[in-house]
Structure 1
């Protein structure tokens, strides 16, 4: 009986242990002589590239110059995920990662949505690092080698002509030469790019004409801090002001951070409560504190000015990094002494007390002995700086701010899109026109005013941004792709860099499989690979096709490539293919002007398609089985057919060999599940159900949407239930004002007029209210009392 129940768990434990061992770091001497792909930098970009390339069978060497993987997300402790508002969590590897984070904390009975006032995913850095190792262990099962080496750097790039063929790697005093088919720079500063000879931008300069004093984005040396309920260990208490803590430094903090628990005011100075909620983390030490932040990281008022010289010159960089660390030490002193948070200090359980971190802190203290009293605290600072800007290759295309702008214009829909971003253009410092690339981003494209003034939401990043002008055997990842400074302000965040890394990994693996250089690769093959992994490439969320349906991938492919169009976010899969839509397919796929009769039957379409494909070495078979019908083929059928056709056309071009595919057999349409079309709304509604604010979500999932309306009576009941939950002593007729005070509603007028019987409320507005209610309720324990029906 014992074996019957315990053996599966035992086998799972053994398997997990073996996988972890396979993905654990290897010393330099244990590495192979050559790898298909060598990736410098094990941050989010390097991780994404390694995962994708390994899953496609490539042998991969992942190098990290520190001894903590995860880059800006883990090693720099920026674990508050900077997500845009739409479709971010449904995309590729980032979706997998978020699922793993949620699963980890769900087991502890905790929510991972703690950042930015309980709105965004966050995790403890050591949890994030372990999840990356676990995912890499799984990817290792798909390839002969996925090796990880820590405290190792690429110090020389080997080339034959204009193609990279290998690298010299240095770890400590030892050096190894490793051959590669593809080298990738996923470092936080783009440090490998100069070694390749590729042309690059740094700040608003090109590499051959650098102004070392010119400003770039500020960096931040963060520190994870937590509450110590039993008191802060003495070695983590700052007893005296650190060196350099001047009155001017003190007044700078006074202007930005004050004592108090107000969380609504956005004006400076912030309260300490707002400060810790901003980057709030789950705290595995205190899992029972629902709605209370007891762990966060300091990354708000400790930005540090940075110059091009800090990128280009390692001596200058070290000086600036040490100055940034000192500023964060000053901030911690201010928190403990001026704010009076004597029960808060640097977290001692994030695994930052590593040999690498000790060595860099010891070296700093050796140069500045007056820092010796703070040694134990510095050992627990994050491993690296949060560097927001790096070198950027000059590629076949340079992504510009205007191409990703979401307000007032629409972002560019590149047909060769291979990754999406969704964050606002956000530069920390250095946003003056004289510091930008005005040949790429004119003055009118510089965002002014508040964060997000030029919009948030999905934008496209094309294949050509990953291909250097002339150098072969080399691909950038992380922040190092071809883009302007302003564009980098939106692509530099963790979800985007992880997905850009995944795209780079797909390019590398496909180039190796097809024995070509990345620039010779057909982007359609990259798109097909990424869509099959569950990535998203269409910048417009599909409103009538669920991601779990078989229709989703073909619809993504044909709409991204421009063969078929969306109408207000709807693909309309059941509607007949019109002659105009059929002509658009042929124009985009074959550059042919073809006229179609009404209706466009499968037989008519097949006849013209077979001829067009044949001109490109692709044979379409299975036409004898087509039903002789007078009914038009549907848009669903056309998408299924043409998505396969595009891939076959790409394979024919890529391999210069004839390709064949059959007309797809009829497939059963997937019923629409509104919860799958609107996963965020569905998740929010489940929170409301858990807290007894609504009895079911069927009504809301259908009506709290764009281009729909909700019954004013039902909305009124929802607001009353919410108000009763938040302020139970207040009269029910003051529900709207209660919700205004709680930050759920902006102003009362609209809701006092519309959230009543006989009136209606905008579905879009109600969806926003539901999101805000859910965010607040995630910080509170569920109610026991049942809610009135709404």
Structure 2
């Protein structure tokens, strides 16, 4: 099929989730002609489309370590009454310190921030292939209603979560556990009918349905009905045994996700709880797929120790949080006072490519480290860092990821409110 050029830009960001949104805004604000490609018709990824609207964590040990564009975004929503920012200096579990955003407002405000920065948007037009020359990605092919179209770019930032752009370009990666190939389970969000939530009968129980096989334990993680109600179907199940980086496997993850929610719906109805599920996310959100190998590989030991890197470019903060299949316990390691992990720029530089940065869930690191830095606030910090680095690479370094002036990158980040090591 014939493929026509539709754009030529300085920086092309692929994926409009937490990382891609911040990368595109930062690159554009830094003066780059920037385009953003997104397979959905809405930005936000896991936060909006997949319905996990908890943005964490901006603070470490009661001190803010992530700010910048991501923080500007949540504060703007809060100022308008569409986000709740908790007191992050309280001694409470980390699960209570995330910023809860209103999903429609979050998608809208991302639109506005991107448009205000001058980013060219290609929503609902997924990347499907790349064109390379040597160690460079010359163009990304997207699928549009008018057929395949080509976007040429000096720099590319892969924020697809699955590392699609890098993988298609031949970059090395890891996917799941090196020996077994096992990946963390996914989760599918569902929503209760709002008018019925206040009438739920919490004294009811679903225990009998596990015994009969009408419910699987991982359909609810054996949470009580009160928890399902309070969470409104958010992050309360495991969809195990699938690989989101493989289209066939991902399709079955989505089918199984809907089966799981349907089992919950039937049990709630049969138990006469008064709860009705009226909506569901369009697909199962995956916690783990590809991790693109970069010039640096963040290990769990480094992350836990909070070591300083010569090229530390942003902070991350979240416990090691490796989910396991079914009802197996989550493998968690909590960071003690004084331990604040950094992300080095070299972990965002793709080892096998010269003009591609990676940011977000597919950044370079081992499984345990990745299980911590994959969360939204950290992805926002990485994305903004990659956007600033891409601007410096285009303007001052001949479109090469390596050899950029680190202080120039940091100056751009600070100008947009980021906290840098």
CA distance in 1, matches of 2:220, 2:37: 42
Match of 1:220 in 2: 187
CA distance in 2, matches of 1:251, 1:90: 39
Residue 518 in 1 paired to residue 413 in 2? no
Match of 2:17 in 1: 43
| Partner SS, residue 397 of structure 1 | coil
Q: Say if 1:231 and 1:496 are closer, same or farther in 2 by CA, change over 3 A.
A: closer
Residue 297 in 1 paired to residue 207 in 2? no
- The CA deviation string for residues 627-664 of structure 1, in whole angstroms up to 9 with x for no partner, is xxxxxxxxxxxxxxxxxxxxxxxxxxxxxxxxxxxxxx
Match of 2:355 in 1: 473
- Kept after mapping to 2: 8 A contact 1:190/1:392: yes
Q: What TM-score do the two structures reach when normalised by structure 1?
A: 0.47
| Partner SS, residue 370 of structure 2 | helix
- Kept after mapping to 2: 8 A contact 1:71/1:188: no
- The CA deviation string for residues 698-727 of structure 1, in whole angstroms up to 9 with x for no partner, is xxxxxxxxxxxxxxxxxxxxxxxxxxxxxx
| Partner SS, residue 361 of structure 2 | coil
CA-based RMSD = 3.1
Q: Say if 1:249 and 1:398 are closer, same or farther in 2 by CA, change over 3 A.
A: farther
- Select between 47-56 and 149-158 the one with higher mean Cα deviation: 149-158
Match of 2:81 in 1: 105
Match of 2:280 in 1: 381
User: Per-residue deviation at 1:60?
Assistant: 1.4
Q: What TM-score do the two structures reach when normalised by structure 2?
A: 0.85
User: Per-residue deviation at 1:121?
Assistant: 1.8
- Give the number of the structure whose residues are more often helix, by fraction: 1
Match of 2:290 in 1: 391
User: Per-residue deviation at 1:499?
Assistant: 1.1
| Partner SS, residue 334 of structure 1 | helix
User: Per-residue deviation at 1:223?
Assistant: 1.6
- The CA deviation string for residues 348-384 of structure 1, in whole angstroms up to 9 with x for no partner, is xxxxxxxxxxxxxxxxxxxxxxxxxxxxxxxx32133
- Kept after mapping to 2: 8 A contact 1:417/1:527: no
What runs of 5+ residues in structure 2 fail to find an aligned partner?
Answer: 88-92, 200-209
Match of 1:334 in 2: 267
2:131 to 158, 183, 186: 158
Match of 1:746 in 2: none
User: Per-residue deviation at 1:204?
Assistant: 3.3
Match of 1:495 in 2: 377
- Kept after mapping to 2: 8 A contact 1:421/1:461: yes
Match of 1:250 in 2: 215
| Partner SS, residue 167 of structure 2 | helix
2:143 to 136, 145, 170: 170
| Partner SS, residue 177 of structure 1 | strand
- Kept after mapping to 1: 8 A contact 2:131/2:139: yes
1:403 to 302, 326, 329: 302
User: Per-residue deviation at 1:230?
Assistant: 10
- Select between 179-188 and 455-464 the one with higher mean Cα deviation: 455-464
- Kept after mapping to 2: 8 A contact 1:231/1:343: no
- Kept after mapping to 2: 8 A contact 1:76/1:222: yes
CA distance in 1, matches of 2:227, 2:124: 37
What runs of 5+ residues in structure 1 fail to find an aligned partner?
Answer: 1-28, 141-145, 206-210, 233-244, 258-269, 280-295, 347-379, 432-447, 539-790
Q: How do 1:409-558 and structure 2 match up within 5 A?
A: 410-429=305-324, 451-455=332-336, 458-514=340-396, 515-538=398-421
- Kept after mapping to 1: 8 A contact 2:184/2:322: yes
- The CA deviation string for residues 666-712 of structure 1, in whole angstroms up to 9 with x for no partner, is xxxxxxxxxxxxxxxxxxxxxxxxxxxxxxxxxxxxxxxxxxxxxxx
